[in-house]
Chains A and B, each alone.
Chain A
Amino acid sequence: MRPDGALASGTGTGRLAEPTRAESVGAVAILIGQVRDRRRRRTAAVLLGASVLVFAAAIASLLLGAAGLTVADVFAVLVGQGSPKAEFVVMRLRLPRVLAAVIAGSALGLGGALFQSTLRNPLASPDILGVTGGASLAAVGSMLLLGLEGPAVALAAFTGALVVAGLMWALAWRGGLTGIRFVLVGIGLASIVSGLLGWLITRAEVREASEALVWMVGGIASTGWSELGTSGGALVVLLTATAVFSPRMPLLALSDDSARSLGLDATRARATAVLLGVALVAVATALAGPIAFVALVAAPIARALIGHGQAALAASALVGVVIVLVADLVAQHAFAGFAVPVGIVTGLIGAPYLLWLIARGNRKGSDG
């Protein structure tokens, strides 16, 4: 995962280019170089800080719980020397949960960042646009109606997300993309999708109602190792693809006209970014259901931390992981007596943020 590193080193080489020019120019170059250095240091600090948080939350998630394990117990299990009981708790219950949070969180954070950068609108996150819902609907449908399992479900989720994204693109495109029209068409599609999802769930012979809830709000309890393998593999492929693609990200920040006047074709870059975003969201949804708002909030937080306008891809993915891990800790332990799906906690954080985003956009006088 080094998209930002690639970006930063690509731009950083310009710093050394003009030492021989006139003094004033040289001073400016040095100034720019200092700014870039500072940015790079800040990016590195954010990535390091987020990684430390991920590690701490993962440790907490492994330690906390009814089984009362100590650090030594958990460590013993991880090196293969644990007692059977600790082995069961860690390897069957807690570690899969942590890994699911890592996979889902990074996929959603990165997917959200790709969507928001491509559509140049902080509201254009896959959950608001109905893309997550499409993935969820297709995943649930393929399991309940067709009896599919494993990679086939992930593939169905990808198809569902792609269909919704394609529909939205086709319906919202009118000689160009206006962010706000995109969002409103997405709200319409999301309402159809959530209606159908609700129907599938009310119809299904769910043994436990909470199982159905996972597919409505998203949850990472009871994830199996084979599912983790599938989605982990898919995630690695997609992360590599995004890293390869990331040098073209700055192109997406330009408007279509500016890009054209520079002789660049932004359309293909946009399509690639959205496709990657769709695939990432589908991986996360097939694994953990539609965890609300992680895709919406991760990228803006990452951008605010790093503090410059670029799409902070690596940081967005890490922030996504932090959010899901911490929200899952809260969901498991904060509500006395019963554990709630992680999506409820992220929803409780994300929805007020969304309202704030709209209110702030209003004050600035922009349309959203």
Chain B
Amino acid sequence: MSRVATDSQHPAALMSRTRTGRRLPPATTLALAVGLLAVVAVASLAIGTRQMPLDLVLGAFTSLVPGDADQLVVRELRLPRAVVGIMAGAALGVVAALLQGATRNPLADPGLLGINAGASLAVVAAIAFLGVASPFGFIWFAFAGAALAAAVVFAIGSTGASGASPAKLALTGAAVTAATTPLVTLLLIRDDGTLLQFRFWSVGSLSGRGLESAAVLWPFLIAGLVLAAWLAGRLNLLALGDDVARGLGVRLGTTRVVTAIAVIVLAGTATSLAGPIALLGLAVAHAARGLVGGDYRWVTPLAAVLGAVVLLAADVIGRVVVAPAELEAGIVAAIVGAPVLIALVRRTKGGGL
């Protein structure tokens, strides 16, 4: 593994290849990103089929008028969407950053690797067969599905002489996604009611998620983020190659297990909240690395904030471009993320993949 890691063609070299010239201090970048998130969050409360001036949005929280329709829209419809978007986006950004760091794989993304698809299959199966209805009930199935899909992808993707190459893992992930799709469809067509509900969920949507999902699932998000924070420093050392990292005192086994747990918890939470959203994390983690360099102690929090920004922005864009209808956030995210994937694939020579 260390031999491969020193090869300049190796993805790790590609990933850390960033311009070091005019870059803002990481703390400033992160602060700007948080500011951007605040702007997008307010926009997501104000923009929609019914446009609202800012004072009205503010008034919905400060001076309650019972029965006021505009205030109800802000509080009951748009606030839950914004909260769900921030939580799911942050989780997806962090998952991708962790996966890319731990596997030194520039193409790592929970959607691309089939992990979200596994989680969504498990959730749909739990609802269809076991009648599990509450988010606290099906989150465990989401974790199990994510874990199973990740295990299959990494088991099949890392066989062979050259180990787990990014291209092989991405292909295997696509195959796992393709394998779950007919199963999900099969479960859904048994029942028209479920189908109508999950048509929207299956493309990744923030609408129709009550605050109750968010209220139940936030501890899992926090747990995942805490694990990610613990991992960040170790990922920096892992980027130097397995042997160097071991020499510097990183326990590789423990680090991998913790990464796996964090990935499963965060991907399962994001999928339970917003459906299987692909390619958002991929784009966000690369953007974060481009902005603050290869230090995962900055990349991970920035990926969290940017993930929330992009998912919320995707939701707002989806509401605006085809108004009065709306484009699901997951679709906008895929349309934004796919060019990033294509650019990454193009910039890498055949041998590097």
- A→B interface (CB under 8 Å): 123, 128, 171-172, 174, 178, 180-181, 183-185, 187-189, 191-192, 194-196, 198-199, 201-203, 209-210, 212-213, 216-217, 292-293, 335, 338, 340-341, 343-345, 347-348, 350-352, 354-355, 358-359, 361-365, 367-368
Contact = CB atoms under 8 A, between A and B. Distances in A.
B328 A128 contact: no
Contacts of B170: 184, 187
A128 B172 CA distance: 12
A358 B182 contact: no
Contacts of B175: 351, 354-355, 358
Interface in B135-165: 152, 156-157, 159-162, 165
A134 B62 CA distance: 49
Interface of B: 107, 111-112, 152, 156-157, 159-162, 165, 167-168, 170-172, 174-176, 178-183, 185-186, 189-190, 192, 195-196, 199-200, 202-203, 278-279, 322, 325, 327-328, 330-331, 334-335, 337-339, 341-342, 345-346, 350, 353
A188 B341 CA distance: 6
Contact of A212 (B199, B203, B325): B199
B185 A216 contact: yes
Contacts of B342: 171, 185, 188-189
A199 B171 contact: no
Nearest to A348: B182
Contacts of B174: 128, 187
A333 B280 CA distance: 40
Interface class of chain A by DSSP: helix
A354 B180 CA distance: 13
Nearest to A196: B331
B199 A188 contact: no
A130 to B, nearest CB: 10
B203 A209 contact: no
B339 A188 contact: yes
Contacts of A210: 189
B182 A174 contact: no
Contacts of A195: 203, 330-331, 334-335
B178 A185 contact: no
Nearest to A209: B195
B182 A184 contact: no
Given A217-B182, A362-B160, 18 more contacts: A181-B353, A188-B339, A191-B338, A195-B334, A195-B335, A196-B331, A198-B203, A202-B203, A340-B189, A347-B182, A351-B178, A351-B179, A354-B175, A358-B168, A358-B171, A358-B172, A362-B157, A365-B161
A363 B341 contact: no
Contact of A185 (B157, B168, B203, B345): B345
Given A347-B181, A362-B156, A184 B341 contact: yes
Given A213-B185, A340-B189, A352-B179, A189 B338 contact: yes
Contacts of A352: 179
Contacts of A343: 182
Contact of B183 (A202, A348, A367): A348
B297 to A, nearest CB: 30
A348 B183 CA distance: 7
Nearest to B190: A338
B167 A202 contact: no
Q: What 7 A-B pairs are tightest by C-beta distance, nearest first?
A: A362-B160, A347-B182, A351-B179, A195-B331, A198-B203, A178-B350, A195-B334
A337 B172 CA distance: 34
Q: Which one of A195, A338, A341, A351 has the highest number of Cβ atoms from chain B below 10 Å of its Cβ? A: A195
Contacts of B278: 191
A174 B160 contact: no
A192 B185 contact: no
B54 to A, nearest CB: 30
Contacts of B327: 199
Contacts of B160: 361-365
Contacts of B181: 217, 292, 347, 351
A216 B199 CA distance: 11
A198 B159 contact: no
Nearest to A331: B186
A184 B199 contact: no
Contact of A350 (B168, B172, B178): B178
Given A180-B353, A351-B175, A351-B182, A198 B189 contact: no
A126 to B, nearest CB: 13
A364 to B, nearest CB: 8
A338 B183 CA distance: 15
14 contacts: A184-B171, A188-B341, A192-B334, A192-B335, A195-B335, A338-B190, A344-B186, A345-B182, A347-B178, A348-B183, A354-B179, A358-B157, A365-B162, A368-B168
